[in-house]
Structure 1
């Protein structure tokens, strides 16, 4: 038995017809008699033949393939987003091409290859960092929908979590729970999501009048949370109300403070962001904001499929607070 996959010529021989007849059977809209179609399809089924989609893609310029660009999978939020994107694309009868990059500055290089593959568009869990970066991406004339980005253009739309409002709510909840010394531990200051969360949190705390506040920006990861947790332990006025830019940061701080004998909510209160599955573990019991990645993904795909009508466009999705015992 041949190791190669069956071709249209093999189907033609099996069915006793010409190769052009096989091509017509599998060409959308081509005129073929019912008897011929049944004969060719039966032969194809016996051989396990599946026609190539490349000719149709080249003719129409549409592949029904959408590229999903994702960042470091060390962060469970990215795997949650990837799952939401792939499920929503399948529901829209689209195929998914997954592309992993390290940061948004790699989008330009990735898109060059994606254009040559004739993908219909790009969904990116990474934001576009600047208007200059958007100009570079626009030259590919490929529809892009990003998550949590402040930059839009002719070819770039965004679906954002309501980051600033979540920061405001977190401050109010911590204050209502009795906190008076506040800390915000966020990711990079040059990202929309973490800068907006910090702004909403800080502006609200400053309005309380009876509160102290400090805000720091750094990494997205567990080690950044541990590092800031160690620094805060040494302060004369240790924070008792902490808002973290994501759950990984919160986990790092919680673990570091547990080593010092401090636990939430007895000694402090803490709120995270993303509502990762591990936030529900009894070790953390972390109150966290759920970005509703399923809704964000569906909204992103809707924008992508209606791109000519919508671009440029931003949609804002309100995150959902999930209360646990940490606050």
Structure 2
């Protein structure tokens, strides 16, 4: 069956072929009456405009590459959903690029270079200076979440991870924690490192704090948090405060404490997480956490994207900081 063309639409609508092209362009000059005639004829024929010619002429595809990874963590899934909605409302098409590494853009570089996209938006971070340089060479605007590295053409929206770490330490100090534990994510997770710095620096500066900080490491998964604390308890260590780099690991921590039965949260040990995923509010966890305010991060990212697309001939780079919101729940409320 022959495909319907703009010539067919023009004949049915009684207009020129150029009028059909203008009717499907948001910036072209055309009367409302003519546009409606064209749209009615297109609907009757089942016509869909071919975007390739306009892409070739303008060099713009109106496609944004969205790089995703780590969707087993509800935080990334939520960020992706909000981002996709915002891009659709901005009349931009989404090209999804999935990577196995949930932390950095490094593994997506070759795929990104092979597509004609107007910009890249991702909740992943730039993992190294060499990757930042390679991305800059694409001369395509890149908007990241929680990346410590930027460069020409690369911008980032950053949760105030250091400040949140300071706030977590303040909770521990206020509640008299003497054997604190920091449960870190993977070493290359820049956001986790910043949370650790804020937490550790504040504890070290606190006068009269004599407890030695115990440092554990997980891989941001539930099981790694569970295993890390289970091994700690098996060694006979009795922490009275645990700050986890993310909520997934913190949920594992709470289950390990519950299963072992030696320490009870929050009377014996308080627990703080990060991300405020839906599970944090479940009655079985009731976890105090930091909300990264994904809605605001996405709004800022879209504003940065708009600026980048308007200055596409010049390298645009910016970093904006969003303060995380502390959500206090039962895991830090002894005596409840």
- TM above 0.5: yes
Shift of 1:79: 0.3
Is contact 1:148-1:158 (8 Å) kept?
yes
Instruction: Give the aligned partner of residue 111 of structure 1.
Output: 112
Aligned residues: 322
Is contact 1:170-1:201 (8 Å) kept?
yes
Shift of 1:228: 0.7
Aligned equivalents of 1:191, 1:31: Cα separation in 2: 49
Instruction: Give the aligned partner of residue 212 of structure 2.
Output: 212
Deviates more, 1:52-61 or 1:309-318: 309-318
Instruction: Give the aligned partner of residue 320 of structure 2.
Output: 315
Instruction: Give the aligned partner of residue 201 of structure 1.
Output: 199
Deviates more, 1:5-14 or 1:197-206: 5-14
Shift of 1:223: 1.2
What's the secondary structure of 2:289's corresponding residue? Answer: strand
Instruction: Give the aligned partner of residue 171 of structure 1.
Output: 169
Shift of 1:31: 6.8
Instruction: Give the aligned partner of residue 326 of structure 1.
Output: 331
Instruction: Give the aligned partner of residue 91 of structure 2.
Output: 93
Aligned equivalents of 1:82, 1:56: Cα separation in 2: 28
Q: Deviations over 1:38-80 (max 9, x none)?
A: 5443321212222222222221122322221111211111101
Aligned equivalents of 1:38, 1:169: Cα separation in 2: 57
Shift of 1:98: 2.2
Q: How does 1:1-327 map to 2 (within 5 A)?
A: 2=1, 6-15=4-13, 19=17, 22-23=20-21, 25-26=23-24, 39-103=37-101, 104=104, 105-113=106-114, 116=115, 118-208=116-206, 209-261=209-261, 262-307=263-308, 308=311, 311-327=316-332
Aligned equivalents of 1:206, 1:32: Cα separation in 2: 67
Shift of 1:30: 6.0
Shift of 1:238: 1.3
Aligned equivalents of 2:29, 2:90: Cα separation in 1: 28
Aligned equivalents of 2:176, 2:133: Cα separation in 1: 47
Q: Deviations over 1:178-230 (max 9, x none)?
A: 32110000101222101111111111222332322112233011111011111
Is contact 1:143-1:156 (8 Å) kept?
yes
Aligned equivalents of 1:259, 1:37: Cα separation in 2: 67
Unaligned stretches of 5+ in structure 2?
none
- The alignment's C-alpha RMSD in Å is 2.3
Aligned equivalents of 1:205, 1:15: Cα separation in 2: 73
What's the secondary structure of 2:271's corresponding residue? Answer: strand
What's the secondary structure of 2:215's corresponding residue? Answer: strand
Aligned equivalents of 1:16, 1:62: Cα separation in 2: 30
Aligned equivalents of 1:21, 1:93: Cα separation in 2: 22
